[in-house]
Structure 1
Amino acid sequence: MRTHILVFAVGIGLLQQQPMLPESAWAWALLPGAAFAFLLLRTRSNGLITIGKVLFAVVFLAAGFFWAAAFAQWRLADVLPHEWEGRDIQLIGVVAELPQVNERNVRFAFDVEQVLTEDAIVPARISLAWYDARGKRFKAEAAPPQIRAGERWRITTRLKRPHGSVNPHGFDFEQWALERNIRASGYVRENDGNVRLDEMVNRPAYQVERLRQEVREQFIQALPGHVYTGVLVALAVGDQRAIPREQWQIFTRTGINHLMSISGLHVTMISGLIFALVYWLWRRSHYLTLRLPARKAAAAAGLTVALGYALLAGFAIPAQRTVYMLAVVAIALWLGRSTSVTAVLSWALLAVVVLDPWAVLSPGFWLSFGAIAIIMLVSAGRIGRTHWLIGWARVQWAITLSLIPPLLAMFQQVSMVSPVANAIAIPLVSLMVVPLTLLGTLPLLDFMLMPAHWLLSICMAAMQWMSDLPEAVWSQHAPPAWTVAAAMAGIFWLMLPGGLGLGWGLGPRLTTGFPARWLGLVALLPMFLALPPKPASGELWLTVLDVGQGLAVVARTENHTLLYDTGPGFSAEADSGSRTIVPFLRAEGVKHLDAMIVTHADLDHSGGALSVLEAVPVGWVVSSLNEDHPIQLAASNKQQCRAGQSWRWDGVRFDMLHPSEQNYNNPRLKTNALSCVLKITTTHGSVLLPADIDKKSEYKLLADKGDALASTVLVAPHHGSKTSSTSEFVSRVNPRLVIFTVGYRNRFGHPKKEVVERYQALGSRLLRSDTDGAVVLRFADKSIAVETGRALKHRYWQDIPG
């Protein structure tokens, strides 16, 4: 059965790679297939039995595939029609989850109970943001009302379908929204009809979310102004957004980020403590033991506490996996049957993927189940007795080594200090901080939070020191899929019975076992040595990233990389630099930028610059910014962009066409008019990057640099605004390809219809970041190869804008 469960999970994973969903009618073929396989298994012929087993495995593979397809069909059917995007819709519903508060808004999930607007169709669960009256930072007179989980509200909203940026190596928001059943997102419109209707809705799910909110508020009140309050909140209720970005960077660099969320380890520890306590107390009562064995009572108590903790923490995948595993063990104890560790893990796997078919797309799924599988591989069925400390060290070493391939594949970085950091943090956090924190959730025991915070501060001091080490993290390119598979096979071979097969004294050496286990290390090498492709001499690889309403372009030659603009900033904790640009550069193997051009001060072009400067070495920064701008202050080597600047990298020419000295001397010019305009020229074609120049700037360019404007590719000025792309400019550039960098349903209405028509009249091919995602251009072989993000990795859940 374990093999069939694994095959079922593989079928679910296979469905999640499909560009479109299959016809449900094909699922009926499972019934005759299963019946035929069963008949073959009942025969006495070994050959037919083997065929029956193979066919039965195929049936389970198909069952997983169509189970996931059915889930997807059902969830995708609950959709916001295109015609109702951006229109006022009045709703009645319930705040469904723990609200998230930042400096700009309150964001919350909303279960729709009633649609009051006539003929409107709205999905059952949506995500809403409630901004202050001016869309700025909260002010007492303009802040939205206090939102609490479980409250019923009548509100007026404007919604749009789930739509996210699509970039190579980027986060897939649409997949994330589908898994969480968020089928539309939007904001609450300022309206006198927005009112809280009545008392709390007392459904179990809402009560849990309300309890999570109360615990969070209790922690904030008990620890006002304390540095690590957010970490304790995350350990108690799973609200990881309470942790500042600077602290997350420390956790990531030291490899202990799994401890700062509700991990399976925490759930297991708490469950184990309750099991031991109940077992010890129960055995001391003859009355109780005569009615129920102490082991069964302790198992039931441990499972109940584990489930309660997991629910309080938001029921993330690691917590789910642990609860299901503990449930299998508890059921076996109640039935008086023994069960193997692999069976426990298999049934937990089945429960996770059956209830959440999209779990296979989550990094937590692979890291959680993978870590348990490795522990089983190096611990179960080994000959000889080993000191507990040596056994623990062997397990830690095995987990650290085995997680390198998936971590490099998913995040392109691995903590080098992780073994030491975890050796300190695991006992301190799991055995001391977490129990004290959970005790602190009780109203009369909130004083326990102070010692929990004190212990956490000690831990964090050590983590800060290790994080600051120059070689704390190994970062590299995203390894090809085949190298990750080879590395995992090599680690499996390395971990086979006989210790680690390296003779490093981690356990008793066995005289028998699998030979030449050291060859497993050789299988790791391709992951580091198989470098990503790069441009040849004279070639240009240009990636126009999808950053929503903003601009970020990465230009690469054979030995140099330039970043042109850095996309928008979203909040104090997030921007395009940290979310999109830095992950892209790391995955592509770009370890430093030779130059970064910040064309002008507008936030949609400069918002990610500080994050890039913090994460990636930058040779020089070119901009039109004032000297006192934060980006200028952060840059070590900087200069103004000026018309006439020119340089050549690897046979590719870069020319700055605007602004001129005259533009800088005109104080009446707006920031857009000072945009750094760059042209990149190769023997295969050219590209013009005009940022946000306006009509006057275009006319100035036509007068001063008219002969230099003709380009094969044009990134449309000012996102296709009507204040730019004049007929004269469009005709002189005469691009074969035009790219509009615009946000989905942006409030400016970019690109404007009349602007689009001007380019269409020239016969230019038009691409848009909101519909096509990132645009990848390769100038080579006297031509330009064009690929788009949504075409490169299309999945069935990706929305096609109407």
Structure 2
Amino acid sequence: MRTGMLALALGLLCLGFLPALPSVGWLLVLLVVGLGTLCSRAWPLGVCLLGFCWACGSAQLALNDRLARELDGRTLWLEGRVVGLPTQSVRGVRFELEQAVSRRAALPARLQLSWFDGPPVVAGERWRLAVTLKRPRGLLNPHGPDREASLLARRIGATGSVKAGELLQPVSGGWRERLRQRLLAVDAQGREAALAALVLGDGSGLPRADWQALQATGTVHLLVISGQHIGLAAGLLYGLVAGLARWGAWPRRWPWLPWACGSAMAAALGYGWLAGFGVPVQRACLMLAVVLLWRLRFRHLGSAVPLLLALCAVLLVEPLASLLPGFWLSFAAVAVLIYCFAHRLGGWRPWQAWTRAQWVIAIGLMPAMLALGLPISLSAPLANLVAVPWISVVVLPLALLGTLLLPVAGVGEALLWLAGGALDLLFRLLAWLAQLQPAWVAQPLPLLAWLLVGCGALLLLLPRGVPLRGLGALMLVALWSPREVLPQGQVEVLQLDVGQGLAVLLRTRNHSLLYDAGPARGDSDLGESVVLPTLRKLGVDRLQVMLISHAHADHAGGAAAVHRGLPIERVLAGEPAELPGALQAQPCGVGEGWQWDGVRFSLWQWAGAASSNDRSCVLLVEAGGERLLLAGDMESAAERAWLKAHGATPIDWLQAPHHGSRSSSTEPFIRALAPRGVLISRGQHNGFGHPHAQVIERYQRRGLAIHDTAVEGALRLRLGSHGEVEGQRGQRKFWRDPN
């Protein structure tokens, strides 16, 4: 049985590693081979192939349900029903729509929509909306999150922005929305949003500082309803029934074990219903059902078998779950605990088991965190040692009981007030720990180094006295594997995918420079959410220079976040007095230049500029006979001034001025520079129409290689090696839209 489940799990898990899905013909061949081997000695291979075919077929159906390419970027009137809990922010509301229909085209089954400055939207309502629809895509940067994989795993076939709408059918129900508003209205000592997250799984109201504290201390799982919360709710009722039976207070005519298992499952389903039965909750309920069934009927088969059965059951229900990091972390955590605590000789006192569980999880999940590119919290064992029992024993029972007793005047509010106070104490502790020890962002490891770390973690988790256990600590030294050292006279150029904005990282052998820091608008700061995490994952722990071309929000918006997150020796700017926040910058020095590791950097700014765009500080980089011009947003007048100052000096690569705007990239400028290629940074379907069709035609007429972040993701170039530009989307995954 174990062999069959292992084979099935292997076939189902192969999906996430495929660069492309097999064709229907090949799937039929594999299906026939799999069925044919089921009755032979090679039956595990047949089970594996059947699992593989099931996963690929499910993924293909999800891909087929994506928005048609001819509708990408078009605005349609459609009707649909709101599902889930809409997320409200200062910029508007985001929600999901099902049963969407349009008279003009067939639409995917589920849409994710944003309505900037829109009215309140409630689950269950039917709306008629004018929506600009887009195929599911997202920003794509090295070692960053893959939004396309997440959208596919949630079977969202299109995203879109609402332009106008009218409510067709209000709802008298919408009980989860009403309950959320009720929770947000109680006095919970300032922690009303955290209560809503804990009870309903709605973390949209949590302040950014709270999220940062949770991430830095490895305690996000406490406020995101997952297996831990479902298991706790189930465990409370299971323990109650078992305790009554042990104390002789349970009726003898009722077998206690079936009642305990049934009560636990009912509690889990009730909490899941309260939380909206999202994918993580469904997975947790399914895993719990398998565990309880095993506890009831097959207790002699050990703990690994139910874990395997739960893994297979989850993947059979939703094969795309393996595209989500939470799937791997949840199963890895359970597997680590089984590996460390099952079949051990001797017993531990409860406090010993609890403290050991924290460092076991910290070490055991390290390889998974590294593989998924997630930050590793060094304070997580200590934080969870306090936070998990505090949430489990104090906060969650008070929050759930208070929610249930809200109809009883005064009682529910009092319990929620106590729960909010307990949460406030916890958040104060987590904020202190986060400040004391921020999360560690490890550089991506080569495969061999990662395998060494994984083997080292497994050795360290062996029981005391096992030979070679101490070797595990030595193997963890691979965590600090040296990164590739650039040759003298070369510079690595990485134009990040930041949507409608610009951020370019330049790294020589020993120095780093950031040209612009990405956009920030409202509560969206890509300097904090994209630029800073990418720099850390690439091993950039200090910037020698941050150069902000000019003060527009799409170039300078993220500068303050980068400045807070990294030491910066020098900040230069085209408009230093106009920068956001408290940034202290020096003006762009016309004619200033320096040399790092054999690479030459030169600054230029038009002294007669009359507009912010034309005041862009321009950077010319020369390495190994290759030249790159970072032009910011300069327009035609500044381009003429550049030609007057520098003449017809050819370059190799050009960052498209002003994102390819019609007011830039003039014919004389392109002809004089004669670049090999152009790098465009812009957001897909942006409202400015960048890049303009005339500019693209101009580039094509000159034979330039055009590289576009909206099409290729982040762009990487090794200046000085005379190579080509590589786009992040060139790393093929079956869920990535190639166009």
* SS of corresponding position for 2:440: strand
- CA shift digits 1:443-495 (9 cap, x unpaired): 232331110111112222222222221x4433331222332222222222332
| Maintained 8 Å contact 1:538/1:682 | yes
Question: Where does 1:621-632 land on structure 2 (aligned, <5 Å)?
Answer: 621-627=571-577, 629-631=579-581
Q: 2:186 pairs with 213, 219, 222, which one?
A: 222
Aligned pair 1:728/2:668, yes or no?
Answer: yes
Q: 1:639 to 1:160 in 2, by over 3 A?
A: same
Q: 1:35 to 1:421 in 2, by over 3 A?
A: closer
Report if the CA contact (8 A) 2:504-2:514 is conserved: yes
Q: Secondary structure, in 3 states, of the residue corresponding to 1:459?
A: helix
2:233 paired with 1:270: yes
Higher mean C-alpha deviation, range 352-361 or range 176-185: 352-361
Q: Distance in 1 between matches of 2:489 and 2:26?
A: 51
Residue 338 of structure 1 and its aligned partner are, at CA, apart by 4.3
Q: For residues 708-738 of structure 1, give each alpha carbon's deviation from its aligned partner in whole angstroms, at most 9, with x where no partner exists.
A: x521000111111110111111111110011
Amino acid at match of 1:236: V
Alpha-carbon distance, 1:524 to partner: 1.8
> Which residues of 2 match residues 147-162 of structure 1 at below 5 A?
147-162=121-136
Matches within 5 A, 1:14-413: 14-30=14-30, 33-34=33-34, 37-40=37-40, 52=41, 55-115=42-102, 117=103, 119-132=104-117, 144-190=118-164, 194-199=166-171, 210-223=174-187, 226-279=189-242, 289-290=252-253, 292-315=254-277, 319-332=281-294, 334-335=296-297, 338-411=300-373, 413=375
Q: Does 1:562 align with 2:536?
A: no
Confirm or deny that 1:517 pairs with 2:456. Answer: no
The amino acid of 1:611's aligned partner reads: A
Fraction of identical pairs, as percent = 36
Count how many residue pairs are aligned between Structure 1 and Structure 2. 734
- The whole-number CA distance in structure 2 between the counterparts of 1:86 and 1:452 is 46
Please tell me whether residue 788 in structure 1 is matched to residue 727 in structure 2: yes
Residue of structure 2 equivalent to 1:747? 687
Residue type of the alignment partner of 1:189: K
In the alignment, residue 589 of structure 1 is paired with which amino acid?
Answer: G
Q: Which runs of 5+ in 2 are unaligned?
A: none
The one-letter amino acid paired with 2:650 is A
Residue 441 of structure 1 aligns to a residue whose secondary structure is helix
Task: Give me the whole-angstrom Cα distance separating, in 2, the residues matched to 1:36 and 1:588.
Answer: 48
Distance 2:441 2:692 in 1: 42
The 5 A counterparts of 1:512-661 are: 514-528=466-480, 530-572=481-523, 574-627=524-577, 629-631=579-581, 633-635=582-584, 638-660=585-607
Counterpart secondary structure, 2:492: strand
Aligned position for 2:655: 715
Q: Is the Cα–Cα contact under 8 Å of residues 112 and 126 in structure 1 kept in the other structure? A: no
**SS of aligned partner of 2:396:** helix
Question: Which string of whole-angstrom CA distances, capped at 9 and with x for unpartnered residues, describes residues 204-233 of structure 1?
Answer: xxx7xx443223211110037x54322222
Q: What are the Cα deviations for residues 611-653 of structure 1, in whole angstroms up to 9, with x where unaligned?
A: 211211111111123526334x234xx2011321111111111
2:442 pairs with 464, 467, 476, which one?
Answer: 476
Q: Find the aligned partners of 1:332 and 1:369 in 2 and give their Cα distance.
A: 17
Residue by residue, what CA displacement relative to the aligned partner does 1:755-799 show, whole Å, maximum 9, x if unpaired?
A: 112222222111111111111001244x123211111x2212222
Q: Larger deviation: 448-457 or 438-447?
A: 438-447
- Call closer, same or farther: CA 1:216–1:6 in 2, change over 3 Å: farther
Structure 2 partner of 1:447: 414
Distance 1:423 1:124, change over 3 A: same
The one-letter code sitting in structure 1 at the alignment partner of 2:620 is K
Deviates more, 1:15-24 or 1:732-741: 15-24
1-structure distance, mates of 2:475, 2:176: 46
CA shift at 1:335, angstroms? 4.3
CA contact (8 A) 2:218 2:377 kept: yes
Residues 481 and 571 (structure 1 numbering): CA distance in 2 closer, same or farther, change over 3 Å? farther
Alpha-carbon distance in structure 2 between the residues aligned to 1:744 and 1:299? 51
* 1:570 CA drift (Å): 4.3
**Matched residues in 2 for 1:332 and 1:477: separation?**
41
2:228 maps to a residue whose letter is L
State the 1:264 CA deviation: 2.2
Q: CA deviation at 1:404?
A: 2.1
Range with greater deviation from structure 2 (710-719 or 145-154)? 145-154
Note if contact 2:294-2:306 (Cα within 8 Å) is conserved in structure 1: no
Q: 2:100–2:110: 8 Å Cα contact kept in structure 1?
A: no
Summarize deviations over 1:29-74 as a string: whole Å, max 9, x none: 456545654544xxxxxxxxxxx2xx32322322222111111111
Contact 2:66 2:136 in 1 (8 A): no
**TM-aligned CA deviation for residue 312 of structure 1:** 2.8
Q: Secondary structure at the match of 1:414?
A: coil
Match of 1:685 among 626, 630, 652: 626
AA partner of residue 131 (structure 1): F
Could you report, residue by residue, the CA deviation over 1:526-565 in whole angstroms, capped at 9, with x for unpaired residues?
222x222131111011011111111111111010011111
The residue that corresponds to 1:427 in the other structure is: 389
CA distance in structure 2 between the aligned counterparts of 1:396 and 1:283, rounded to whole angstroms: 29
The CA distance in 2 between the partners of 1:314 and 1:488, in whole Å, is: 36
2:738 corresponds to 1:800? yes
> Shift of residue 260 of structure 1?
2.2
- Tell me the alpha carbon deviations over residues 501-529 of structure 1, each in whole angstroms, 9 at most, x when there is no partner: 4xxxxxxxxxxxx422112222222222x
Whole-angstrom CA distance in 1 between matches of 2:353 and 2:136? 48
SS in 2 for 1:679: strand
For 1:181 and 1:34, the matched residues in 2 are separated by 27
C-alpha separation in 1, matches of 2:440 and 2:239: 40
The Cα shift of 1:10 comes to 2.7
Partner Cα separation in structure 1 for residue 220 and residue 75 of structure 2:
41
The alpha-carbon deviation at position 11 of structure 1 amounts to: 2.4
Alignment equivalent of 1:698, drawn from 635, 639, 661: 639
Instruction: Return the letter of the residue paired with 1:96.
Output: V
Q: 1:318 to 1:383 in 2, by over 3 A?
A: farther
Aligned-residue offset at 1:87: 3.2
The TM-score, its normalising length taken from structure 2, stands at 0.94
Q: Distance in 2 between matches of 1:72 and 1:492?
A: 33
Is contact 1:413–1:473 with CA below 8 Å preserved after alignment?
A: yes
- Are the aligned partners of 1:11 and 1:64 in contact in 2 as well (CA < 8 Å)? yes
**TM-score when normalising by structure 1:** 0.87
Q: CA deviation at 1:82?
A: 2.6
Give the distance between the partners of 1:324 and 1:80, measured in 2 at CA.
31
Aligned residue for 2:616? 675
Contact 1:656/1:677, CA 8 A, preserved across alignment: yes
